Structure 1
């Protein structure tokens, strides 16, 4: 089994959309249209097993100090192989290279992110533009049951 982290190209968007569809349908991950993914393709990192994309995430920069791990997904067949951990670690490396100070995660997977060094914070401490730019698009808005966690670089 060959596992590879890589930056996707525009031709990978269809496979990425297919992979995340179930999580979007459940309301676990926000919908990103193919056009939105295209305009932010540089923020994504994919992971493949034997040349099949089985997971991805994005590191979205909010400010010169703060970025967010977004849209983290791993195909159910490949969970338990620490592929999600590899994706988040890649985000940490990228964030350090950009000289960011913190990485945010809004998630239902509190324990997973805590195991990677993230600490829970109050959602009220999130930047206001984050709430209105993304959260208003969520099917659960305004009753949010995600938790906010931060990783200090």
Structure 2
């Protein structure tokens, strides 16, 4: 059975362990334990029988703009709706804050398009996103990620 909840500080070690393979491959940016702790309220977690199975974060960039980032689902549960459920929960949360648009940078274009995100040019993203996060990526400035946006 899959259950969903907001993250706590005690979840950080399990979150770091789950995301490590994707960080090592350069698919997801590394977030230090301190950075995760600072932003702990942004994370939505999925558990299968009390074992962390996935998570994602909602990061705010402006009063009407947020980002879905750090989305990860364990290999054993990919394709079973866990990621979709996490994203939908984050979109619902964004709506409660009055956010009008939510973007993502991803290699999983089709996944986000199934959730009604549409592709946009990366140049349309806020400049501070590029300098705050993308510059930390080992692929910067030659990035293959795709920018997509969802309108609430």
TM-score range relative to shorter protein: over 0.9
Could you tell me how far apart the structure 1 residues matched to 2:31 and 2:91 are? 22
What's the TM-score, normalizing by structure 2? 0.99
Partner of 1:90: 89
Unmatched 5+ stretches in structure 1: none
Indicate yes or no: 2:3 matched with 1:4.
Answer: yes
Could you tell me how far apart the structure 2 residues matched to 1:78 and 1:121 are? 29
Partner of 1:151: 150
Could you tell me how far apart the structure 2 residues matched to 1:149 and 1:143 are? 18
Number of matched pairs: 152
Partner of 2:141: 142
1:77-126 superposed Cα distances (whole Å, 9 cap, x missing partner): 11121100000000111001001000001000000000000000000111
**3-state SS of paired residue (2:139):** coil
Unmatched 5+ stretches in structure 2: none
Could you tell me how far apart the structure 1 residues matched to 2:18 and 2:81 are? 17
Partner of 1:44: 43
Could you tell me how far apart the structure 2 residues matched to 1:8 and 1:69 are? 15
CA-atom RMSD in angstroms: 0.5
Indicate yes or no: 2:118 matched with 1:119.
Answer: yes
What's the TM-score, normalizing by structure 1? 0.98
